[in-house]
A and B are shown apart, each in its own frame.
Chain A
Amino acid sequence: MEQQTKVLAEDNKQEIKVIREFNLPVELLFKAYIEPEIVAQWMGTKVLKLDSAPHGSYRFETTDPKGNKHLFSGTIHACEPHQKIIRTFEMEGTPFPVQLEFLTFESLSDETSKLTMHMVYKSVADRDNMLKLPFAQGINMAHNRLQEIVNTLK
């Protein structure tokens, strides 16, 4: 199967591009980013605040399987309907520095659209850490599953 979501991350650069085409009109794709109850559904997060306007901001809260709460927040610099969102993103209480995100929405046809997320990091090392994070979490999840299995054997 062809990979639907593309990730571009060149060596020694402090940026990542994530590109995806959707079987959705651009209006619905954009709506998924600005309406709090919809963001909550697809991101699987609690939306504490989402003010999609210049000088606006957002704050999301997720709870992991262990019951720990994680807060994600940022400010919104630009929000042009069906075209673009410029915002910052930060994982509160972690050593990861704030990152800058340029989201570009494009209409491909009446029924299809394209999203390009261009994320800029403080340093090359910070970008690499962010890329590795899901890999590390995947290993932790595999280990947790192993631990659960081991516990049931006891």
Chain B
Amino acid sequence: MQLRRDVFQAIADPTRRAILLLVASQSMTAGSIAANFDTARPTVSKHLQILTECELLKQEQQGREIYYHFNAAKMKEVAEFIEPFRLLWDTRFNKLEQVMKQYKTKK
């Protein structure tokens, strides 16, 4: 269950989701991934570390470079796609509750 929570944390961050999308189309080095973001290189490295630790990314040595691959099997395995769907409803329902509490006090 520890692993499952880590994956949800990993994809809760919009930058990490954008990284996953980037490497989904082609494997890339840390440098070429970081070039796509307006964040400090160490921050991108931290994101890559988190994504690698929960196995959403895999590293592969090619000559002197390390390339990051998207691990689609892991994505499917943990059914991570559900989390943004859940958050969408959670946000809506929080709003519903907040709106209706006003009606409660009006009564």
**Same complex origin of A and B:** yes
Let me know if B100 and A29 touch, CB within 8 A. Answer: yes
**Interface residues contributed by chain A, number (CB under 8 Å):** 41
Let me know if A142 and B82 touch, CB within 8 A. Answer: no
Given contacts A38-B99, A42-B92, are A133 and B85 in contact (CB under 8 A)? yes
Q: Is the interface of B mostly helix, strand, loop or mixed?
A: helix
Let me know if A38 and B18 touch, CB within 8 A. Answer: no
State which of A55-63, A76-84, A88-96, A145-153 sits at the interface with chain B: A145-153
State which of A18-26, A67-75, A99-107 sits at the interface with chain B: A18-26
B21's closest neighbor in chain A, by CB? A139
Let me know if A146 and B36 touch, CB within 8 A. Answer: yes
Question: How many residue pairs bridge A and B at CB < 8 Å?
Answer: 100
Given contacts A139-B18, A139-B21, A146-B36, are A38 and B100 in contact (CB under 8 A)? yes
User: What B residues does A44 contact at CB under 8 A?
Assistant: 95
User: What B residues does A141 contact at CB under 8 A?
Assistant: 14
B12 to chain A, nearest CB (A): 9
Let me know if B15 and A7 touch, CB within 8 A. Answer: no
Q: Mark B5-29, 1 if CB is under 8 A from A, else 0.
A: 0000001001101101100000000
Q: Mark B64-85, 1 if CB is under 8 A from A, else 0.
A: 0000000000000001111111
Let me know if B100 and A24 touch, CB within 8 A. Answer: yes
B7 to chain A, nearest CB (A): 13
Of the candidates B17, B18, B36, B103, the one whose C-beta lies within 8 Å of that of A28 is B103
Given contacts A131-B81, A139-B21, A142-B15, are A7 and B89 in contact (CB under 8 A)? yes
Let me know if B101 and A24 touch, CB within 8 A. Answer: yes
CA distance A45 to B88 in the complex (A): 15
User: What A residues does B101 contact at CB under 8 A?
Assistant: 23-24
B99 to chain A, nearest CB (A): 5
CA distance A7 to B103 in the complex (A): 28
CA distance A54 to B73 in the complex (A): 45
The 10 closest A-B pairs by CB, nearest first: A142-B14, A134-B84, A5-B90, A42-B96, A142-B18, A135-B84, A7-B86, A42-B95, A134-B88, A28-B100
| Additional A-B contacts beyond A42-B99, A132-B85, A146-B36 (7; CB < 8 A) | A28-B103, A28-B104, A41-B99, A131-B85, A137-B84, A139-B17, A142-B15
12 A-B contacts (beta carbon < 8 Å): A4-B90, A6-B86, A9-B79, A20-B89, A20-B90, A24-B97, A24-B100, A134-B88, A138-B84, A145-B14, A146-B18, A149-B38
